[in-house]
Each structure stands twice: as C-alpha cells, then as structure tokens.
Structure 1
Amino acid sequence: IRPMGRILEPLRRMGAAIEAEGEGERAPLAVRPARLTGIEYRSPVASAQVKSCLLLAGLSAEGRTAVHEPAASRDHTERILPAFGIPVERLPDGAAVTGGGRPRAAELTVPGDLSSAAFFLVAAALAEGSRLTVEGVGVNPTRTGVLDCLEAMGAEIERLGEREQGGEPVADLVVRGRGLAGIEIGGELMVRAIDEFPVLAVAACFAEGETLFRDAAELRVKESDRIAAMAEAIRAIGGEVEERPDGLVVHGRRHLPGGRVRSHGDHRVAMAMAVAAARCTGPVVVRDTACVDTSFPGFYRLLRAAAEA
C-alpha cells in the first residue's frame, strides 16, 4: 500500500478533513465532509497522481486550484476533462481548474494503455527476428518514454495509423526484434518512463553493455520498493545489478539461467519477470502473481499466445 502523505498534505491545505489510519500515512483513510478552497500548489515531485487528485478536488473547491510541477508528468486528466465540459487552464509548468463547473456526460473511446503494451513491446524487442503489432495504443507524448528508451537501445518501432481518440493520440505499434545495447535513462526521460522501469530493467538485463537508471527515487514508494524489488529479482535469475538510492546499474548478458523470484505483490514486477523468462535458459518461477489482475487480467494468457504466434 502506497504512503499517501504527498497527496494528503495539499488536500488538507485545501480544507479536506482526512485522517490516515495506517502507519506512515497509509490507508485506510477516514474522510469527513469539508468545504474546500482552491490553492496554488507547487509539487516537489512530478506526479500525475498528485496533480490529478488536486485538479479533481479543485472541481468541488471554491475558486481556482493550480498545480505546478518540477517536470511535466502525464496529462491524461487535463486532456479528458474538456470532453466532459470542464475547462482546464494549461500552465507552462502544470495545470489549473476553477471550481463550480458541472461535468456533462460524454461517450469516449479509451485508448489502449502503453504501460500494459510495454511488456509485449519489450518481449518482441528482445526476440531477434520477431515482428509484433500492438493495435490502438495511446501514444501521449508524456507517456512515450518507454518507446524512446527502446529505440535508443536499438529496437525498431514503427507507428502506423496515427489518430486521435478521446483527446488522446493513438497509433498501432509495430516492433521488430533485434539486439539491444545499454543506455542511460534519467531526467525527463525517466519521468516519461517511470511506470515502465521494471520491464525496461528486464530489457537492460539482455542488452549489450551497461544500462544506468537514475532520478527514479519515487519508485521506492510504489506498490513495492520497485528499485529494491527489481534488483533482487534480477539477481535471483542470475543477472548482475548495482542498486543505487535513485536507480540501478544493470550489466547486460545475452542469456541468464533463471530462478525463483518474489513479486512483492507488485503487478509490474510480476509481469516484467514473466517477460524475462523468455530469455532465460532455465525456468523462472514468479511468486505471488495474483496482483497482476489489478491492472491486466488475462496477461499471462496473452503473453503465452504472443509467444506461440
């Protein structure tokens, strides 16, 4: 369970009456009715979750709510609110809304999730000579860091049929497998690829040379400490990795022997290690995989079908 402090603090500044009953400002949360007032908030981290939470709260607050970020995070909320009749003010470093508006119903087509597609893109990129098409994937530029990373590592990725759905850019992605090489992933690129860190770490395991992940300290407060969880998982399958406070250094090898891995209840770790199994010479056993259903029911069935196609 994620710590909620970085969301609760600005909500309380708006007047929200919320108490975290779990240790370290974690759920369960007790919420009481309260009158909200808009605020000007400067987030210490680039977080779409924090930004979206405050913008949505701002719809019911008196006055204007503005969120400023140190770097651009995902902007799905800013893109979709106008479809429901809610004006969004785009700022150079964030977004703002004014309370009092009443959303109207709308019919939308939600694009395929790039974070979910990333597991298949990496699996195909690692399989030399393969060709895989993933249709109808959202390619919002605040989310395409994983594509930029894979292309920088040497993967060939083509975007076909680019179009717009629900205010979001969408494309069919075609990836062709060939050898990958290590790169450095940090700064703005890390922000745009933060959710894909586990599967990119798997790609790095089988890339030629060294891959450095930096500026990813927020991953220590996700569903698990993803930096520590991936370092442990990579070592468990025979890989070489150095853990750093804000990331990892992964030393690539062509194949790894496999082993038994703990997911730590984290869906992205579990799915990433399933992808790693395709390049291991022995079996990879991932413990606690029920968590995958939180974001991708049917993942293992689809992964098996893609491997057999």
Structure 2
Amino acid sequence: MKAVRITPNRLKGEVIIPPSKSMSHRAIICAALGDGKSKISNLIMSKDIIATTEAMKNLGVKVIDTKKDDNDKYEITIEGRDDLKVLNEVIDCNESGSTLRFLIPIGTLADDKVTFTGKGKLVERPLDTYYEIFEKQGLNYETDDGNLPLTVDGKLKADKYEVVGNVSSQFISGLLFTLPKLNKASNIAITTNLESKGYIDLTLDMLEKFGIKIENKNYEEFKIDGNQRYTPKDYRVEGDFSQGAFWIVAGLIGDSIKCLDLDLASKQGDKEILEIVEKMGGKIEYKEDGILVHPSETNGITIDVSQCPDLVPILTVLGTFSKGVTKIVNAARLRIKESDRLKSISTELNKLGANIIELEDGLEIHGVEGLTGGVVNSWNDHRIAMALGIGSMKCSGELTIENSSSVEKSYPSFWEDFKSLGGHVHEWNMGE
C-alpha cells in the first residue's frame, strides 16, 4: 500500500485530461463483438480497462496489436468475433463494476458456463437485477449468498425485460450490448425513474457507432431488434469529464488551469460539472484548445447528482470551500460504490476541519475558509484519493493520504499530473 505526503501549493498550468473510462469500456466491448478488426486509440490501461480487455480475451476475442505513444496513451487493435467462446471459465473483474455488470449478460452469449470473480467492495455490490432475470428465464446460476463468485450456465432469451432504473444504469447497458445479438426482438421496460441517463446515452451512442440500432422511447422503454451484427470501426476515445472535474475544481480553488481534450459536444453526463460550477460562480473560459478555469469565489447551491453521481467526491471538496451551504441530494447510490462515498468523503474531510453533515441520501456542506493538515485515507477508492489530493491545496499543513495508489483503478498518472501542475508530492510504499 502506498501513501503520498503533500505540501500544500496552488496548482497551475495545463493538463491533458485522460480518456473517458466509461467510453473506453464501451468501445472495447463493441469492438470485441464485431466480426473483424477495430482500432481503439487514446486509451489509458488502468486497472478497470485492463479488466474489461482481459474479460473479452477470455471470451475468445483477440488483441492483435498494442501501441503506446509519447503521452503514455495506447492504441489497441481488436479482432472481434461474432460467436463468443469461453477460453477461461473464470473472468476476474478486479474492482470494476462496469466490467462485471456489462459482461454478465454478454457472457451468456457463449456456449459454456462462466464464472465472474472480483476484489474489494465489488464482491458484495448488488446484482439482484440479473438474478431476477436468470430465475425468470430458468438460467442456472450460483453465488456465494448473493455475492461473488457468480457462475452462470445458460443463454439469455429474447424477452420483455423489466428493469429498475434507480440502482445502476450498468444493468441496462449490459442488456443493451447483449440483446441485439439474440435471434429475436426484445425490449427493456424501465420500471422506476431512470437515473444516470447520461451513461445510457453513452451506451446508445457507442452502439450506433458500431452499427447497432436501438429505439429509445423516452428512456421508459428500449426496443431492440434481434440478429444485429456489430460493424468493426476505428475509434478514438475522448477526454473524460469525470476526471477533468478534479482539475476544474483545482483551477477554482488554486490558480488558473487549462484542461485539454474535453469535447464540449460530448454526451457524457459528467459534463454537467461545467453547469454546476458556473451556477456556483466559477469562472470558466471556453477556448479553441481547451477549457480555462480561473480562481473563483464560489457559493453553495443545492446539487441534484442523480444523473452525475461520480462527481460527488470532488463537488464535496468544492462545497467545502464555497460560501454558505452546499447540499448534495439524490445520492443514495453512492453508498454502494468502491466505498460508501457519502461516508468516506465526509469522514476524511471532517478530520481536517470541514463541516459536513452526512444525510441518508446526500450531504450538507457548510463552507469553511480552509483545512488543517493531517492524515487521511482513501478507503481504497480512487475518486476519494483524487478529491482529497485536490483539497490539499487549502490545507494549512502537510496532508498525508494513505492508500494513494487506489488512483490506479481509473487514472494511474494522477499524481504525475498533480506534480506537473506544481504539486509537491512525496510518495512512498507503506507495505502491505
């Protein structure tokens, strides 16, 4: 386990925002399901993306070429296949919820049974939506009292699928990837209000790029024709607004920061960070080559995060240094992420002098001028580690973040980018 010790300093400069993890998962899966070669470029091979790539390889897909550029971004050439084949019965999803929930229904397209394993909190993250489908369709499955490992034996059938929309959009995306390959038409009926619509938009957009057609009836129902074929395609992954949010907030509470490679026409739900920041009084300039963020005096507002839950840790940091009260609402799903993010981010910031009240489905954040130094822990959660790192700029003394290597899950170069903007970081290995 690693830790970082940060001497507080105002960050300033330019940073190339890493590629979207959400879109990377989706592009790799669509390429893998196409019968032919696709090139996926501008990838960061984080632990989550490696998990998805290895999972598809276990289902018979080949990665026939891998190139790395001068900015440590990868281009991989995938030789997809129309008929999946289980080469290794055990698929290790590591700690990636996207890998697990996307791949479970895809795994049923293969002829043999497949077992999904994972690590950390992923082992106990809920999969009831799929269990109910398996029971309805008569698929054999085994779990460890509802937890991983999960073994599934059988194929999904074309059907009318009823899915709740307020637990995780990943279940719906998993079905959207899979159902077009069945021999008959299916539809998905959403039985509750659909949260995280932006992630469904990303899935539908990627499917369309790879030749799959889905009829979206106002996010209440999705109609999917069967016997569709994925078309191979070369695709470059765009920058990630959920990762860019950390540097956007850094620019607001530190010094001016320009964020490069963010597409303002993106369908990413986390692009909402721009609107939220401007409502709070943040100063943003939109340049031809990037988004320039200036130091700003921000004010607390009420933020509904039902469509952008991944922004909560860094929004909590921003709320901590905003005048008045910031309320984060509709955030109950944050309790079943890599950590209970409502508890983890409020606990660690409060150790440093923040004034955050944890609510059942959100947070009430009372602004403060600054924080003390001290020792905090990431709870093995990449977004908590990064948020605390940005918060260090407003500490009066050194800040030590234990388990800082959790950033490798999504953004392995985070601490290097932090240093490139003037951050004073000392990293060391604490042992197991």
TM-score under structure 2 length normalisation: 0.64
1:106 to 203, 212, 233: 233
> What whole-Å deviation, never above 9, does each CA across 1:58-87 have from its counterpart, x for those lacking one?
123342132436145121110011111111
Aligned to 1:70: 193
Q: Check whether the contact 2:185–2:223 (CA below 8 A) recurs between aligned residues.
A: no
Q: What amino acid is aligned across from residue 92 of structure 1 in structure 2? A: N
Q: Check whether the contact 1:46–1:191 (CA below 8 A) recurs between aligned residues.
A: no
User: Against the structure 1 CA distance between its residues 121 and 14, is the aligned structure 2 distance closer, same or farther, given a 3 Å change threshold?
Assistant: farther
In the TM superposition, 1:116-195 aligns within 5 A as 116-127=243-254, 130-138=255-263, 139-140=266-267, 142-161=269-288, 172-186=290-304, 190-195=305-310
Q: Check whether the contact 1:260–1:284 (CA below 8 A) recurs between aligned residues.
A: yes
Gaps of 5+ in 1: 162-170
Rounded Cα–Cα distance in structure 2 between residues aligned with 1:177 and 1:297: 26
Rounded Cα–Cα distance in structure 1 between residues aligned with 2:142 and 2:379: 27
Moved more, 70-79 or 45-54: 45-54
User: Against the structure 1 CA distance between its residues 299 and 60, is the aligned structure 2 distance closer, same or farther, given a 3 Å change threshold?
Assistant: same
Q: Check whether the contact 1:238–1:259 (CA below 8 A) recurs between aligned residues.
A: no
Q: Check whether the contact 2:376–2:400 (CA below 8 A) recurs between aligned residues.
A: yes
What displacement does 1:34 show?
Answer: 2.1
Rounded Cα–Cα distance in structure 1 between residues aligned with 2:283 and 2:139: 48
Q: Tell me, what secondary structure is at the counterpart of 1:300?
A: helix
1:80 to 206, 231, 255: 206
Q: What amino acid is aligned across from residue 79 of structure 1 in structure 2? A: D
Aligned to 1:165: none
Gaps of 5+ in 2: 1-120, 425-432
> What whole-Å deviation, never above 9, does each CA across 1:175-210 have from its counterpart, x for those lacking one?
112111111112xxx123210100000111111111
Aligned to 2:77: none
Rounded Cα–Cα distance in structure 2 between residues aligned with 1:132 and 1:4: 39
> Looking at both structures, which has the greater relative contact order when contacts are Cα pairs under 8 Å and sequence separation is at least 6?
2
1:54 to 159, 162, 175: 175
User: Against the structure 1 CA distance between its residues 15 and 87, is the aligned structure 2 distance closer, same or farther, given a 3 Å change threshold?
Assistant: farther
User: Against the structure 1 CA distance between its residues 99 and 16, is the aligned structure 2 distance closer, same or farther, given a 3 Å change threshold?
Assistant: farther
Moved more, 30-39 or 105-114: 30-39
What displacement does 1:10 show?
Answer: 5.2
Q: Check whether the contact 2:181–2:229 (CA below 8 A) recurs between aligned residues.
A: no
Q: CA RMSD in A?
A: 2.2
Rounded Cα–Cα distance in structure 2 between residues aligned with 1:144 and 1:71: 18
Rounded Cα–Cα distance in structure 2 between residues aligned with 1:175 and 1:15: 54
User: Against the structure 1 CA distance between its residues 301 and 213, is the aligned structure 2 distance closer, same or farther, given a 3 Å change threshold?
Assistant: same
Rounded Cα–Cα distance in structure 2 between residues aligned with 1:192 and 1:45: 10
What displacement does 1:272 show?
Answer: 0.5
Q: Tell me, what secondary structure is at the counterpart of 1:191?
A: coil
What displacement does 1:44 show?
Answer: 4.0
Q: Tell me, what secondary structure is at the counterpart of 1:229?
A: helix
TM-score under structure 1 length normalisation: 0.87
Moved more, 286-295 or 63-72: 63-72
Rounded Cα–Cα distance in structure 2 between residues aligned with 1:40 and 1:159: 43
Q: What amino acid is aligned across from residue 64 of structure 1 in structure 2? A: S
Rounded Cα–Cα distance in structure 2 between residues aligned with 1:10 and 1:57: 17
Q: Tell me, what secondary structure is at the counterpart of 1:243?
A: strand
Aligned to 2:351: 236
Aligned to 2:151: 30
Q: What amino acid is aligned across from residue 50 of structure 1 in structure 2? A: F
Q: Check whether the contact 1:210–1:252 (CA below 8 A) recurs between aligned residues.
A: yes
What displacement does 1:141 show?
Answer: 5.8
Q: Tell me, what secondary structure is at the counterpart of 2:306?
A: helix
Aligned to 2:217: 91
Q: What amino acid is aligned across from residue 193 of structure 1 in structure 2? A: C
Q: Tell me, what secondary structure is at the counterpart of 1:303?
A: helix
Question: Identical aligned pairs, as a percentage?
Answer: 26
Q: Tell me, what secondary structure is at the counterpart of 2:344?
A: helix
Q: Check whether the contact 1:42–1:67 (CA below 8 A) recurs between aligned residues.
A: yes
Rounded Cα–Cα distance in structure 2 between residues aligned with 1:156 and 1:195: 22
Aligned to 1:211: 326
Rounded Cα–Cα distance in structure 1 between residues aligned with 2:423 and 2:392: 14
Q: Check whether the contact 1:183–1:211 (CA below 8 A) recurs between aligned residues.
A: yes
Q: What amino acid is aligned across from residue 110 of structure 1 in structure 2? A: V
